[in-house]
Amino acid sequence: MTDTASTVLALDAGQTGIKVRMVRPAAEPVERVFPGVRTDQPLLPQLAAVAHELAAGAPVGVIAAGVSGLTSAESDAGELRVLVRDLAPGRVLLAHDSVTSYLGTLGDGNGAVVASGTGVVTLAVGAAGVARIDGWGYLMGDAGSGFWIGRAALDAVMRAHDGRGPSTSLTSVVRSRWPELEDAYVQLQSDPARVSVVAWFAEAVAAHATTDAVAERICRDAAEELALSVVTGLRRVGAEPAPVVSAIGGVFRGEAVRAAFEDAVRAVHPGVRFEAPHGTGLDGAEALAALAPAHPLHAMVSAS
């Protein structure tokens, strides 16, 4: 007989996919991937639908979710409990995915995690508490993100086209998508996937960084923005003399960004230790169930 009180249903809900894991005593974990959350629609019903599909109506002990785009208005585990009441969960835990990314990357120790993909968010934990830096979206923030890099590349290409800036090999990359440069802005503005389209150019910027001065500068500027977020977070939480930092996400696959980022952080914290991720965001969602009430991140988790 299954011990439902010990069964954990963990959700790592991102915009590209919702990863789900069912952990039961004396059984192999079950994992599934569902389509990503739509941030232009209510989030909690989407989470409830996924929970119902994986649990198949069976009671669970804990439902723990880390969610991209979670706003203060929807950070209500009690509301999610109502939507999954037929699963009779003992606890429902709900957090922004920056929290679960942190737990999956560094566990419950102190340090800073910067996650830079299409967007970017940094979370730092220390003796003085928790600091979230950026993650304010492509219109208001996300400095050093894939979108930020792609936007800088497009700006540089159009400046070169006008004669306002130096020539760049990135022009050929942009022309591969829009042969007529002067029509590109109209096509981009009318594309419903324009955010991901802009972020797509970040990979090309990284690839051209060793041979193109414009691309190298963009990577360096992005690295400095990402380092600034980490250094700011560490300062706000009272960093240890040798803080632990982990940099995750597609932007850091580019060696130019990663190397410049590490140099910039090391200039402020010479004893910094850079660590590879200990796990994933899904591991972090599962870890919510065991997070100690006294841990600084506990205050960022809605529980019901």
Does the pLDDT at position 4 exceed 70?
no
Coil, helix or strand for 124? strand
Residue 15 pLDDT: 74
pLDDT tier, 5 (very low <50, low <70, confident <90, very high otherwise): low
CA 14 to each of CA 46, 47, 168, 218: distance values in angstroms, whole numbers, following the listed order = 12, 11, 34, 27
On whether both 272 and 130 belong to a single domain, the answer is yes
Residue 14 located in a structural domain: yes
Give CB contacts under 8 A, 24+ apart, made by 290-297. Answer: 291/103, 291/108, 292/108, 295/108, 296/125, 296/126, 296/129, 296/130, 297/95, 297/99, 297/102, 297/103, 297/108, 297/125, 297/130
- pLDDT over 70 percentage in the chain: 98
Question: Does 288 share its domain with 240?
Answer: no
Average model confidence (pLDDT) for the chain?
Answer: 92
Closest CA to 1 of 26, 30, 29, 31: 26
Specify whether 214 is located in the same domain as 261.
yes
Distance of CA 129 to the CA centre of its chain: 20
Could you tell me the CA-to-CA distances from 303 to 68, 80, 162 in Å, in that order? 17, 10, 55
For residue 102, being part of any structural domain is answered with no
Give this prediction's pTM. 0.87
Same domain, 78 and 197: no
Tell me: do 164 and 213 sit in the same domain. Answer: yes
Q: How confident is the model at residue 3 (pLDDT cuts 50, 70, 90)?
A: low
CA-based nearest residue to 144, from 122, 123, 171 = 122
Which of 26-35, 98-107, 133-142, 285-294 is the least confident region?
A: 26-35
Residue range 47-57, pLDDT digits in tens: 999 999 988 87
Determine the structural domain holding residue 28 and report its residue range.
4-97+280-303
Question: What is the tally of structural domains in the chain?
Answer: 2
205: CATH? 3.30.420.40
The pLDDT score that the predictor gives to residue 126 is 94
Tens digit of pLDDT for each residue in 130-183? 999 998 888 999 999 999 999 999 999 999 999 999 999 999 999 999 999 999
Answer yes or no: do 77 and 176 share one domain. no
What Rg do the C-alpha atoms of the chain give, in angstroms? 21
Count the helix, strand and coil residues of the chain and give each as a percent rounded to the nearest 5: 50, 20, 35
Indicate if 239 and 112 belong to the same structural domain.
yes
Q: What is the band of 1 on the pLDDT scale with cuts at 50, 70, 90?
A: very low
Residues 253, 152, single domain; the answer is yes
- Please, which residues have CB within 8 angstroms of residue 274's CB and are 6 or more apart in sequence? 245, 246, 247, 262
- Any domain includes 103: no
